[in-house]
Structure 1
Amino acid sequence: MLLLRPASPLGGFPAPSGTRPSPGDAAPPPPSLLLATIWYGHGPFDATFVEFFQRRVRPVLAETGGEPLAYLRSEHAPNTFPALPVRTNEEVFVWFARFTDEGHLDHHLNRLQQSERWREEVLPTLSERWARAPQRLRLAPTERSLLR
């Protein structure tokens, strides 16, 4: 598990705008998905990197259909809930995007891979910071999730 905090004042998840379905509600699981992209760094993702993300990375993600919902970075505070072990020696930057379904998510990833701006303006800078290749996790919101 990673302990994360918003990377900027605007980087956290948006405040809930609706009501959560009641427990036991028989609503089917939502078809939407969240994509969590985890970048592992050689060192901390500082304010300079956050600015780079906001000015260079985020616009390309939005152009390709993957507007970040939230973006976070490693938090180096004590783990106050030891039942869940936290990986403490990793520097990460994580962004989350919401997609209506698998097809929308796959379309975004294909457009991102084909984006000239992504390949020429973003990836070279990102790859200099990577300690290893980024990890992508496809997450399905639960029936009661406010991130549906």
Structure 2
Amino acid sequence: MPTSTHALPPVIELRQYTLHPGRRDELIELFEREFLFSQQDCGMRVLGQFRDLDAPDRFVWLRGFAGMPQRAQALADFYGGPIWQAHRNAANATMIDSDDVLMLRPCVPVASGAAAGSGRVIATICPLRAPADDALRRQLSELVLPRLAAAGATPLACLETEPARNNFPRLPVREGEQVVVWLASVPRDGAWPALDIGALLDRWLRDLPTSLHLQATPRSAWR
């Protein structure tokens, strides 16, 4: 499987949290103060954290791991460690649901990594009938990502479902699903890119894609 030109981690979680009304900024402040460097110290890489612009009580973030064994060890170290133990009650008090998690891996290379700029990022999630195959990867590489770039967006990542089983069951993930996901940064004054995904990927899609319109938080690496 090809790897990204900007060295994406081999395993990536896309995490969407539904929060109690009005408590998103509280979680973001706590997350960026306490959980960024402490997760890195345990061997994880926090790729980005975002406000969902269409859902005022949703917090979206991504983190990566060097592999599945490293994921199990890093999560055990962090969630059993002193920083999470000290702040877990405050973090959990902001959350209604934290189980909407996709476990992913790089799918096709992209031309650019984290981009400075407006902080506006679009994430498109495409449910698939079956695991991604080489024909789908070619379609993404040759049609979808170039059309994103032509629309003024800068691709950040193109991902597919990681087939390995969740090896840290304390934290659930959405199992039994196949998806491809791409993320791209959008210029401050640019329109959100609108692609006819049905026409481009119809033979692979199980259901309609969903797009998340995101705004990076102040300390997000991906912008």
TM-score, reference length from structure 2: 0.49
Cα-to-partner distance string for 1:71-125 (whole Å, 9 max, x where unaligned): 0000011212323211111110000001243x42xx243xx45xxxxx5xx6434
Which protein is richer in strand relative to its size? 2
Structure 2 match to 1:89: 176
DSSP 3-state at the match of 2:157: strand
Q: 8 Å contact 2:106–2:160 — kept in the other structure? A: yes
Give unmatched runs, 5+ long, in structure 2.
1-100
Q: Deviations over 1:25-83 (max 9, x none)?
A: xxxxx852211001111111112211111111111111111232110000011212323
Closer, same or farther: CA 70–12 of 1 in aligned 2, 3 Å: farther
TM-score by structure 1 length?
0.71
Structure 1 gaps, min length 5: 19-29, 114-118
Q: Which of the residues 105, 129, 136 maps onto 1:5? A: 105
Structure 1 residue 5, shift from structure 2 partner:
0.3
- Is 1:35–1:97's contact at 8 Å kept on the other side of the alignment? yes
Note if contact 2:106-2:158 (Cα within 8 Å) is conserved in structure 1.
yes
Q: Is the contact made by 1:32 and 1:140 (CA closer than 8 Å) also made in structure 2?
A: yes
Runs (4 or more) in structure 1 with deviation over 4 Å come to none
Residue number in structure 2 paired with 1:134: 209
Higher relative contact order (CA 8 A, sep 6+): 1
Letter in 1 for 2:216: P
Alpha-carbon contact 1:37-1:136 (below 8 Å) kept: yes
**Structure 2 counterparts to residues 95-134 of structure 1, below 5 A:** 95-101=182-188, 103-104=189-190, 107-109=191-193, 112=194, 123-134=198-209
1:67 is aligned to 2:167: no
Measure how far apart 1:13 and its partner are.
Answer: 7.9
Identity %: 33
Q: How many residues align?
A: 123
